[in-house]
Amino acid sequence: MLAEQRRHHIMLELQRTGQARTSQLAENFGVSEVTIRSDLEILDAKKQLIKTHGGAIALPAGSPAAAFEERMNRNFDAKRRIAQMAARQIIDNQSVVFDSGSTLLQLAMQMPPVTNVVVATTAMNIAQHLMYRPGLDVHMIGGRVFPNTVSTIVSDSDKAVGGLVAHQAFVSAHAIDQSFDVVDVSEDIARTKRNLVRMARRVILVADSSKWDIGASSKAFSLSRVDLIITDSGMPHGIRSRLDKLGVEVRYV
């Protein structure tokens, strides 16, 4: 049986029962568990299922918002620690820009009490989390709404927040490729991140270690444009030594 066909059958099984165990699938198809795991990883990357410990579960039915919630849980612990460290960078009387994404939502949820801070964001869920907090002035950056991340696509940063120049921008990465460029799945999203970066004097990148050395189609900006990288220490050794030589401040949590 061809690999592609086997993956299709995995999807069928998953749609039938809602879950599938690695061990079970390996036995059924007569291949090793490692092979099944790589199948699941591929299907997960295509957002056709959600890989879990021991197997995989079907995507939550209906709302893609539920799917976002599920993805929020991935690498949750690393994201939380990264967000905690990032939150400490925010001080009173500052204006900050928040990108969208699960790590940034975590950051919003962990934000310490501050006074007179302006937050501008493209993410609706972040705006809704922060808008009731005292001491915060929350601005939604307008643009076309992108359902996957519940956030807006920004075409031109000048018009974004009336020419606001922020002290700091907190940006996440979908992936970081071999030449140390922050890349994303579409030019729209890449351009948005590029514009957010342009809005701030200091750029802080938050990225858990699963993002390193992965390619994607559209370049957003180079790591050299970043002032501080907050990540966890789970990336391959080669990456880490190159990163330390780059001259950008890196903090491992």
Which residues of this chain interact with DNA, rule CB under 7 A?
3-4, 6, 21-23, 30-35, 37-39, 41, 52-55, 236
* 218-222 sheet: strands from edge to edge: 175-176, 181-184, 218-222
What is the 8-class DSSP label of residue 223?
A: G
Structure tokens belonging to residue 235: 């990336």
Q: Residues in contact with a copy of itself, total (CB under 8 A)? A: 50
99 in Cβ contact with 122 (< 8 Å): yes
**For 206, how many CA atoms within 13 A lie in the half-sphere containing its CB?**
30
160 makes contact with a copy of itself (CB under 8 A): yes
Nearer CB in complex with DNA: 49/200: 49
Using CB under 8 A as the binding rule, the residues of this chain from 54 to 113 that contact a copy of itself are 54-55, 57, 63-65, 72-73, 76, 80, 109
Closest by CA to 193, choosing from 167, 163, 160, is 160
Q: How far is the CB of 148 from DNA (least distance, A)?
A: 23
Structure tokens belonging to residue 45: 């990357």
Q: For the chain, how long is the longest CA-to-CA vector? A: 62
Q: How far is the CB of 32 from DNA (least distance, A)?
A: 3
Q: How far is the CB of 29 from a copy of itself (least distance, A)?
A: 14
Q: To 10 degrees, what angle do helices 76-87 and 102-109 make?
A: 50
Span from 32-40, 51-59, 174-182, 236-244 in contact with a copy of itself (CB under 8 A): 51-59
- Between CA 58 and CA 18 the distance in angstroms is 5
116 makes contact with a copy of itself (CB under 8 A): no
Residue type, 173: A
Structure tokens belonging to residue 94: 């500052």
Q: How far is the CB of 236 from DNA (least distance, A)?
A: 6
Span from 149-157, 181-189, 208-216, 242-250 in contact with a copy of itself (CB under 8 A): 149-157
Expressed in angstroms, the distance from the first to the final Cα of the chain is: 44
Nearer CB in complex with a copy of itself: 142/239: 142
Binding interface with a copy of itself (CB under 8 A): 1-5, 8, 18-19, 21, 45-47, 50, 52-55, 57, 63-65, 72-73, 76, 80, 109, 124, 127-128, 131-132, 137-147, 150, 152, 155-156, 159-162
